[in-house]
Amino acid sequence: MPYYCDAFAEMFSRETVALRIPMRTGVEGVLVYDDRDQFLGVAHSDTAYHPLDVEGAKESGRRKKLNGKRIEAERSDVEKIDPHKIALEHVDIRLERIRCF
């Protein structure tokens, strides 16, 4: 049975989690921990929606929004690269040689 937790939407494809399934029956969710044994949340059974179901579209949009927040957080830590500036650094010497002829 597939399970879903909002913490899954904020993860990338190669990240792993551990699911701890309660030994008692009748418990609806499973506990989700990351690889450092930190609690992420409770995963419940995932609902399968029909492709034309409005509720499914809303849930899909909500999950994409959560994933977008993670991408924005990762993007904020990355240094901006100016490819034009980098290209010009390597061209300056060549231009001087061409002007001499």
At 58-80, the pLDDT tens digits run: 888 888 887 787 778 778 877 88
Structural domain count of the chain: 2
- Inter-residue contact 37 to 17 (CB < 8 Å): no
Kind of pairing between the strands at 39-45 and 30-34: antiparallel
* Together in a domain, 72 and 37: no
Predicted local confidence at residue 90, as pLDDT: 64
Q: How big is the CA angle at 52 (ends 47 and 54), to the nearest 5 degrees?
A: 70
CB atoms within 10 A of CB 59: 15
* Together in a domain, 54 and 41: no
* Together in a domain, 98 and 55: yes
Average pLDDT in the 21-31 region? 79
Share of the chain above pLDDT 90, in %: 0
Residue 28: strand, helix, or coil: coil
* Together in a domain, 77 and 53: yes
* Together in a domain, 56 and 101: yes
